[in-house]
Chains A and B, each alone.
Chain A
């Protein structure tokens, strides 16, 4: 965390980016007190998906390796968490990190095969991970409960359990609130890590491999090790996200972790903005939040099935249509995703009151990602 200033508040005024980060964190902390139960659980799904997508972004956005196998690592996390938490009665302080570690180890194994492949070939082999993983999960019934699925534990430690909520004097936080804050903290830690990773030697190696693998190798970047690191980091985050996701749902089946889930994560990172720190979170808001919004408003929206209308487009189809179209539009119009769009809007606003000196800055050098 060396890139953070000694006194956290010292540089805020001069760094608008940092100021807005602090604002986002404050809003994030206060949010559960404003929203109702439906939106709180949606927010938990958003944050958990953002954590998983953050991992995928390290692999795809920052290292340039196309992966459609993310659902596999989410699944590994969910089952590891479930097995340790329910069958072995471990504390959440153990099963949440363990889910990440087991997924990370499998990520390292997958990386050894992936090392030999490039680009689209890699994408297709990672599809194999999903199918082989589902096959293992269907048959390894001690851990997975078979195709019927298994339950996962509510996080807890000793006598403390999320199920009872948390009561501090007059302040009480519900079970979903505790899930929210856990996901919030995990995501914040993940984002800090990825931020620092981007400014480290490893992160620059990753960017070099992404931008031009052969040139990176010629310049002495250890391509194999860089890719393996990316795979491991990516699958650790997916594992933790998978355990949280499964625990919040309280029940998972192998069928849930299908290729469509992987594709959804790819859409999250692309729509959010590849290789941008805030991309996964913004993308998750879109891809996870949007269906929830439509579901909630279906009765009052035209064309949709819902409320008293029994004909019309089913909501799941409508959301798929919507983010399919969004994916296409973003790729053609703003390949840097929502983050890029935000930069564009930001620079439009700033240009209006920019000093001549600021206008001289080359935009591509000032933009992140």
Chain B
């Protein structure tokens, strides 16, 4: 029982990171109807920046975290301003491929700039634990869940109650109508990328917490988060969060129990498991659990 509770808790903590990644995807999808394939590289960028600000410049963790997040957000904004702005109105395929290009460029630049070796994320918690009901919970996992929940709630409030949130929601609902009533599309897209950069950095730093490390290859985590966004429905922020937590828990429990209880499934099943869950869900609900089915017109 104790092991199960611990596995579940780790699952929730990974799920929180997935939820943040999924939120990053959803924000951009709602603003411009595309999937940002560079979300993983933004996440690695944020984590590497924060980590090296701490190790090379001796900044305190929270300050480094803030600067790292600001720089990652700036990178997202720069890509929107320098590249994507010129692709407005082009087919979705083109824009998605542009983000794939950014992913390729960023991955190579991070590799060359920071080096491929794993390093500490520089957080102050390390491997310290807190005892709750006799369970030894990692502080970093507690903070991951807390931060993710705070950010998700903050995003919800931002989305519901601010002018920018309203602009984003109306762009998501109908881009042309939004432009017609004078919503500045460029600024909406820009702020979507800023938000995506922010949550990417937060996700990256927490993902690199004990027992994990930070290296350019942590960008791969987005491929585990893809099932989360698809599962939840890509245009739904609630869906992103629910999907993230489901996939995190499924993955962690499979990694923990499948080798003993379902050994015939072989090694590395936990990598394939989220995708299998996703495909089953999609066969039943092609637009995910919370996604909206687009109406089609000729």
Contacts and interface: CB of A to CB of B under 8 A. Distances in A.
A124 B35 contact: yes
A25 interface: no
A215 B298 CA distance: 6
A125 B234 CA distance: 13
Given A120-B234, A125-B279, A138-B268, A328 B98 contact: yes
A320 B108 contact: yes
A124 B105 contact: no
A139 B296 contact: no
B124 interface: no
B214 to A, nearest CB: 18
Contact of A120 (B96, B266, B282): B96
Contacts of A317: 108-109, 111-112
Counting chain A CB atoms within 10 Å of each CB, the highest count among B34, B35, B93, B94 belongs to B93
A332 B105 contact: no
B83 A332 contact: yes
A135 B266 CA distance: 8
B226 interface: yes
B275 A121 contact: no
B105 A127 contact: no
A128 B275 contact: yes
Interface in B203-232: 223, 226-227, 229-230
A266 B100 contact: yes
A199 interface: no
A15 B149 CA distance: 66
Counting chain B CB atoms within 10 Å of each CB, the highest count among A138, A270, A331 belongs to A331
A335 B94 contact: yes
A125 B266 contact: no
Contact of A138 (B226, B227, B267): B267
Contact of A324 (B102, B227, B296): B102
Contacts of A128: 227, 275-276, 278-279
B96 A66 contact: yes
B143 to A, nearest CB: 29
A266 B90 CA distance: 18
Contacts of B271: 131, 134-135
A209 B201 CA distance: 39
Interface string A305-337: 000000001101111110111011001100100
Given A119-B92, A132-B276, A327 B101 contact: yes
Contacts of B108: 316-321, 324
B262 interface: no
Contacts of B35: 120, 123-124
Contact of A332 (B87, B223, B269, B286): B87
A328 B105 contact: yes
B172 to A, nearest CB: 15
Interface in B248-298: 265-269, 271-272, 275-276, 278-279, 282-283, 286-287, 296-298
Given A117-B286, A124-B35, A324-B104, A138 B266 contact: yes
Q: What interface size band does chain A fall in?
A: 35 or more
A131 B104 contact: no
A347 interface: no
A197 B267 CA distance: 42
A127 B268 contact: no
Contacts of B230: 121, 124-125
A21 interface: no
B282 A117 contact: yes
A116 B279 contact: no
A17 interface: no
Contacts of B179: none
Contact of B87 (A134, A321, A331): A331
A104 to B, nearest CB: 20
A369 to B, nearest CB: 14
Contact of B96 (A123, A321, A328): A123
Nearest to B216: A317
A215 B297 CA distance: 9
A328 B109 contact: no
A218 B92 contact: no
A48 interface: no
Contacts of B269: 135
Contacts of B103: 324
A106 B86 CA distance: 39
Given A132-B276, A135-B272, A327-B97, A267 B266 contact: no
B107 interface: yes
A113 interface: yes
A116 to B, nearest CB: 5
B34 A120 contact: yes
B109 A321 contact: yes
A105 interface: no
A263 B93 CA distance: 14
Contacts of A316: 108
A127 B271 CA distance: 12
8 contacts: A117-B286, A125-B279, A131-B271, A135-B266, A324-B108, A327-B101, A328-B83, A328-B101
Interface of B: 34-35, 83, 86-87, 90, 92-94, 96-98, 100-109, 111-112, 223, 226-227, 229-230, 234, 265-269, 271-272, 275-276, 278-279, 282-283, 286-287, 296-298
Given A128-B279, A138-B268, A325-B105, 4 more contacts: A64-B93, A120-B234, A128-B227, A331-B94
